Structure 1
Amino acid sequence: MTLVKQLRFFFERHGFYVSTRLADRLGMKVKSVRLFFIYASFATFGAGFVMYLTLAFWLKLKDLVYTKRTSVFDL
């Protein structure tokens, strides 16, 4: 496997699923969203990666706050 494929596999496996969730919400392909983040990172010298990490933190925080409860008695 080439280095690029290994890096892609690592980030797809251990990422925060920001690209997947954003693509689902926008109705786009996941690959297009990932390419946008890659191009934005190169164009803005890392600001796209910072934006990605911010979205990952925000989504993780949202998941912690809005957990689905099966019953009223689960509080």
Structure 2
Amino acid sequence: MHKIQSFFENQAFGVCTRLGEKLGISICSIRLFFIYSSFLTFGSPIIVYLSLAFIINMRKHLRRNSHPSVWEF
């Protein structure tokens, strides 16, 4: 079960994990919130989830390129 969970965390952008760490809330409760609210509101939290994933990936990209190595000059 732990292998499956880590696979989905790595493939699903880590948005719930990041939010859980920042807010100090259980990761499982954040995932359940996204799932239940998606069913109740016909998928609108999916847009929020994807926008957060985009922001997280852009931050990683910007951090990686802000410190060039010696070989990139």
TM-score by length of 1: 0.71
Q: CA deviation at 1:13?
A: 4.4
Which residue in the other structure is 1:30 paired with? 27
Partners of 1:55 and 1:11 lie apart in 2 by 16
Please provide the CA RMSD for this pair: 2.6
The answer to which structure has the higher helix fraction is 2
* Structure-1 separation of matches of 2:43 and 2:23: 23
Match of 1:52 in 2: 49
Hey, what's the Cα distance between the residues in 2 that align with 1:13 and 1:59?
13
In 1, the alpha carbon distance for the partners of 2:51 and 2:9 equals: 17
Q: How many residues are treated as equivalent by the alignment?
A: 68
Report 1 or 2 for greater relative contact order, CA contacts < 8 Å, sequence distance ≥ 6. 2
**Equivalent-residue separation in structure 1 for 2:40 and 2:32 (angstroms):** 12
Runs of 4+ in 1 over 2 A off after TM superposition: 8-13, 66-69
**Identity in percent:** 42
Alignment gaps of 5+ in structure 2: none
Structure 1: tracts of 5 or more residues without a match: none
1:18 aligns with 2:15: yes
SS of corresponding position for 2:47:
helix
